[in-house]
Structure 1
Amino acid sequence: MEQSANSMSGIRWKEKFSYGMGEVASGVTFGLVQSVLQKYYTDVLGLGVISIMLLFVLARFWDAANDTICGHVIARLHPDSTGRYRRWFKWFAVPLAACTVLMFLKIPGLSRTGYFVYACITYILFGMVYTCLNVPYGSLAQAVTIDSSERASLSVARSVGGVFGAIPALVLISFCYEKGVDGIKRMSYPIIITGVCIIAVLSMLSYIVLYKGTKERIVEPSKKERKGIFMKSMKALLADRAFVVAAIVAMLYLASQQFSMSYSAYLFQYYFDAPGLTMLPTVFQYLPVAVMMFFATKIGNRFGRREICAYGILAAGVGNLILFLMHTKNVWLYIVVLLISGVGTTFIYLLTWSIASDAIDHAALNSGVEEPYAYSFFSFMRKLGHCVAAVFVNLALFKIGYEGNVLNTANITDSTLTEMYTWSVLVPALLYLSIFILLRFVYPLGKQAVIEQQKAKEEKFSKSV
C-alpha cells in the first residue's frame, strides 16, 4: 500500500508542544544528574572524587550493553495500536520517578563504602530506566513526520523543552544551602530530597502529556529476525561517517554542558564566594534560546544546519578563551561573557536533534539500519559525554585537593583558585573548538546533501509503506 508524504507529515503546534514536553520529562531528571548529583555525592554522602569518577566510568561500561539491548528490543517488538514508541512512556514514567528519588535517598548509618555501593546500584538503575524512555523518545521524531523541516521544528521544540527541564535542578542547586553554626554554608539534605521528589512527579506528569499529545504517522512493521542483525547494524553505523561524526559531536557537546553545570557549583562556592548564583551561568547561556527558538528552524533551512551550528560553536569557544585571558574575579562580568558565548551555542543546542535525525536517516538510507539501533548507539555516545565531563570535573577537584565534602582551607590559595578558574573556562573552550572542527571539516551533510537526502527518503517511503 502506498502512503503519500502528506499523510506522513502535517504536525501542528499542540503536537510540537507535547513532543517538547518529552524533553521536559527527561530533562528535569537528567538535570539533577548534571547539576546536583556530583555535589550531592561529595557533600552529602561524603564520597571521594576518585570514587565518583570510577562510578561514572563503570556505569558507561554497562550502558554500552544496556543501550544497545534496549534498541534491539524496541526494534523487534511488534507495534501496537499506539505505534512502536509511545507505549514506552506509559510503561516507564513511574519507574523513572521512583529511581530518581532512590538515587538521592540517603540511608542513615552506612559507611563510605556502603554509600559508594548504594550510589553505584541506584545510579546504574536510573540509567537503565532512563534509557528505556530516552531511546524511544529519540526515535519518535522519525515516526511522527517524514518531513525534514518539520523534524527540525521538533528538534527546536525538544531543545526548548530541555531549557525548561533544566530549570528545576538549577533552582535546587542554587537554594539548597543552609548556614551552619560555624557560619559555613553547606548542602541541606531535607531541601535536596524534597526538591527531588517534586521533580520526579513533574517528570511523570510530563511523560503523560507526551504520550497523549503525539501521534505516530509512520509505523513500519517489525522486520523478520535476522541472524547477526545487531552486529551488522553496529558495523554499518561505525562505517557511516555522517552518523559517527554526529554522535561524537553530541558526546562532546553534552560533555561541555555537563562539565559547566557540575563544576559551577564548586566554582561559585569557592572562587566567587557566591553559591546562590550557581544557576545564573546556565540561565544566561540559555537566554538567547528564548529569542532564537522562533527563528532557528528557518535559519537552519536557509543556511544549512551544519554551517550555522559550526560557526556558532566556534564563537562560543572564542568567548571562553576570552574569559581565560581576562581571568576576572568579577562574577557579573564572568556571567555577561558567558551570555555572549551562549549566543554561539544556541544553534547547536536548538538543532542538535535535527542533526541527529539527518545522520540517522543517512544510516537508514545507505545501510538499511533501523532507527532504534541507530538511536540507542547515539544515546550511548551522549552518555559517554557525561562520563567525559565527570572525568574532567573530578580530576579538577582532585587537583585542588577537594576530598569528601570540603575543600581543605589549607588548599584555598590564590594558586588553587586560579587553577579552579582555568579548568572552568578552558575545558569548555577546547570541547567547543573540537566540535567546530568536526562539523566544519568532517561532517558531510551540508545544506545541499540534506535536501537530496530528503528527496530520497520521501521516494523510498512512498513506495514501501
Structure 2
Amino acid sequence: MSQTARKWEEETVEAKVAFRRFGMRDKIGYLFGDFGNDFFFILVSSFLMVYYTDILGISAATVGILFLVARIWDAVADVTWGRFIDTRKTGKNGKFRPWIFRMSLPLVLSGVLMFVKIPGMSDGAYMAYAFITYILWGTLYSTVNIPYGSMASVITGDPVERTALSTFRTMGSMLASLIINVVGPLILFVDNKADANRFLLGAILFGLLSISCYIACYKLTTERIIMPETKGKKANLGKSLKGLGKNKPLISILFASLLLMLCTMLIGAVNVYLFKDYFGNASALSIIGFVQAVAVFIAIPLVKPFVAKYGKKEMAAVGMAIAFIVYGLLYFLPELTATQFIIISAVGMFGYGFFNIVIWAFVTDVIDYHEYLTGLREDGTVYSVYSFARKVGQAIAGGIGGIAIAAVGYNAKLPEQTGSALHGIHTLATLVPAFIYLLIFLILVFFYPLTKKRTNQLVIDLAEKREEQI
C-alpha cells in the first residue's frame, strides 16, 4: 500500500478511537460471515427445488416461477436496504456490523420455516406457504448480507488485505458448501428419496450453525475506516445513479457476476436431478460436493501469488477459460460414470474457483472507483447494486432451472424418467454451464478495464483525492 493511501486511512479513523491493526482475527471473522450465510443459501440453492417438487408436490414449472418472482423482489430489497444503510451514521460498533447481529436470528428462523411441512394442507395451500416463506427468507437475507458484503471496504483500505478478505470469505462459503453438499444428502434423503422430516432436521441443524457463525463474525471483525464529513458531499440519489452509470468496471462485473450466479444456481439445482435420476445415485451428491470443494481449496493458496504477479482480472479470466473447456468436454462424454463425471468436473471447479475467490475483491475495487468518479463513499449502495445483479442471476436461474427441468420432461411421479428427459438433464448440467463460462471469460477479457496496473494506480489517485478533502 502506498504511503499516501496508508496516511489517508489512518487519518480517516476517529483519532480518539484506538483500533487494533488488521490481522488474522478479521480474516477469520469475515470467513464466519459467509460461512453463516451459505449454510442456508447453499441448502436452498441445492435442495429447495427438490423439496418443493418431491415433498410438497409443487410442479417444477411453478417452482421456477416462484424463484423468479422472489429473486426479482429480493433484488429490489437489496438496493432499498443498501440505500438505507448508507443513510445511517456510524456507531460505536461500526456502521454495518450491528445489522448483522440484529437481523441474523429472524433470518435463521425464516429459513427453518421454509422446511416445515404442515400435514393435511391442500396443493394450493402448500404452494401459497412456499411463496410466503421463501419470499420472507429472501427479504431477511438482504438485511444481513448487504451490511456483511459492504463491511469489507471499511475493515481495511489496503488492496492486498482486501484480497485476503475475499479469499477468506470464499473459504467460508466453500466450508459451508462442503458441509451442505457432503453431509446434506446423507441427512435429507432416505433410500434415494427426499424425506420431509429429514429436511426439517437438516434446516434446524444448519440454522443453529448459521446463527453461531453470524455471532462470531460480529465479535471478531472491526470497522476501521470512518469517512470524514466533507462539505457538499451529502448523499444524492441522482448523483449516485449517474456515477453508477459511468462506472464501467461496475457494469462489467455486474454482468459477469449475474452470469456466474446464474450458472452456480443452475448447476446446484440440476445436479440433484443429474445424480438422482441420470446416474441413479443421490448419495454421489456428497462425493461431488466434497471433491469440488477440495478443488477450490487447492486453488486458494495459489491466488495471492498469482494476483500479485498477474492481477485479479487476468487470473479470473484464465480460470473461466478452464471451466468452459471442462464443461464443454463433459457434454460430449455422455457415457461417463458418476465417478468419472465427478473427477473431470473437479478440474472445471478448480478453474471456476479462481474467479470465485477474488470476486469480492473486485467489488471493493468498483466501490473505490465509484468514489473516484463521484466523490461519494457509498459502500452499501454500490454493494447492493452488485447484489442486485446476483439476485437477478438467481431469478433467471431459478426460473429457467425449474421451467427447463419441466421442459425436458421431468416428472416426479414417474418411478424412472424417460430417456429424453435424462438427456435434457445432462445437457442442462454440462453444455449450458460451458456456454455461460465462455461469456464470463469474454466479459473479463474485453470489457472489464481494471487491469493490475490500473487498479494499483486507482489506489494512488483515490488516496490523493481523499487527502485533498481533509
- Please give the TM-score of this superposition, normalised by the length of structure 2: 0.92
Q: Distance in 2 between matches of 1:462 and 1:226?
A: 15
Unaligned runs of 5+ in 1: 180-184
Equivalence for 2:327: 320
C-alpha separation between the residues in 2 aligned to 1:228 and 1:17? 32
| Whole-angstrom CA distance in 2 between matches of 1:221 and 1:77 | 14
Alpha-carbon separation, structure 2, partners of 1:309 and 1:303: 10
Residue 461 of structure 2 corresponds to residue 456 of structure 1: yes
CA-atom RMSD in angstroms: 2.2
The ranges of structure 1 where at least 4 consecutive aligned residues each deviate by more than 3 angstroms after the TM superposition are 5-10, 221-228, 405-409, 460-465
Cα distance in 2 for residues equivalent to 1:212 and 1:205: 11
Show the counterpart of 1:386. Answer: 394
Aligned to 1:178: 190
Q: Kindly provide the amino acid, as one letter, of the partner of residue 452 in structure 2.
A: K
Cα distance in structure 1, aligned partners of 2:39 and 2:229: 32
Cα distance, 1:54 vs structure 2: 1.2
Alpha-carbon distance in structure 1 between the residues aligned to 2:231 and 2:138: 29
Determine if contact 2:62/2:402 at 8 Å carries over to the other structure. Answer: no
Report matched runs for 1:287-436 at 5 Å: 287-369=294-376, 370-403=378-411, 405-407=412-414, 409=416, 412-436=417-441
Instruction: Give the AA of the match of 2:281.
Output: A
5+ residue gaps, structure 2, are: 14-19
- In structure 1, what is the equivalent of residue 159 of structure 2? 148
1:442 Cα deviation from its structure 2 partner: 0.6
- Identity score, percent: 30
Cα displacement string for residues 149-181 of structure 1 (whole angstroms, at most 9, x for unaligned residues): 1100100000001001223321213442223xx
Q: Which of the numbers 104, 118, 122 marks the counterpart of 2:133?
A: 122
Match status 1:203 vs 2:210: yes
CA contact (8 A) 1:139 1:375 kept: yes
How far residue 65 of structure 1 moved from its aligned partner, in angstroms, is: 2.6
Instruction: Provide the rounded CA distance (Å) in 1 between the counterparts of 2:449 and 2:81.
Output: 29
Could you tell me which residue of structure 1 aligns to residue 82 of structure 2?
A: 71
Relative distance call for 1:200 and 1:81 in structure 2 (3 A) is: same
Report if aligned partners of 1:103, 1:122 keep a CA contact under 8 Å in 2. Answer: yes
220, 226, 229: which is aligned to 2:227? Answer: 220
2:271 pairs with 1:259: no
> How many corresponding residue pairs?
456
Change (3 A) 1:265 1:68: same
Matched, 1:4 2:2: no
| 1:91 aligns to 2:102 (yes or no) | yes
Structure 1 partner of 2:63: 52
> Do the aligned residues in 2 keep the contact of 1:402 with 1:408 (CA within 8 Å)?
no
Deviations 1:384-434 (A, max 9, x none): 11112212321321123224x43464xx33333222211210111011001
- For residues 4-23 of structure 1, what are the structure 2 equivalents within 5 Å? 4-5=7-8, 7=10, 10-23=21-34
Structure 1 position 105, deviation (Å): 1.2
1:135 aligns with 2:146: yes
The code of the aligned residue for 2:381 comes to Y
Cα offset, 1:347, TM superposition: 0.7
CA distance in structure 1 between the partners assigned to 2:246 and 2:283 by the alignment: 47
CA deviation profile, 1:55-111 (whole Å, cap 9, x unmatched)? 112113322431111011100011110111010111011111101111111122221
Name the counterpart of 1:439. 444
- Point out the more displaced range, 10-19 or 150-159: 10-19
